Copies of this chain bind each other. A is one copy, B any other.
């Protein structure tokens, strides 16, 4: 056919690649790649708004009206456990508070989720390389250093240093 037609970019091309990756990851993890999981994963890839489980449920239901919210939650957890998707904050689920009003950042253990304060003076000022999108007015930068705390990093039986 017409050459111009053939090179036209497919909007779903990127998703097809991701889907292939997703299927490989599922196979590698021994996870059955069910229709529900594929549709849910697609909804996640296409979402640009960091959706909540409930929002995903609404979207997936348009494709699979019989799907249940429990399945959405179950699969989200499985995806997270296998690193197929990410969660925006490591501290959802319960409000966590602090009275420390000095500027500071946080160290967060990705395993036990304990948090430690990191005085702002310990981090060089954040500098942007390019303009922000969409007229967003930044008031402050909050840095979270994610990693493992001493306890969680230590092997179960520690032998020396």
Chain A residues engaging chain B, CB cutoff 8 angstroms = 18, 41, 44-45, 47-54, 56, 76, 80, 84-101, 106-107, 109-110, 114-118, 121-124, 126-130, 132-150, 153
Q: How many copies of this protein are present in the complex? A: 2
The one of B48, B84, B98, B123 that contacts A128, using a Cβ cutoff of 8 Å:
B123
The verdict on A86 contacting B101 (CB below 8 Å), with A92-B91, A136-B116, A149-B134 known, is: yes
Let me know if B97 and A94 touch, CB within 8 A: no
| Residues of chain B lying within 8 A (CB to CB) of residue A134 | 116, 149-150
- Asked, given contacts A118-B132, A127-B123, whether A98 binds B50 with beta carbons under 8 Å apart, the answer is yes
Whole-angstrom CA separation of A115 from B133 in the bound complex: 12
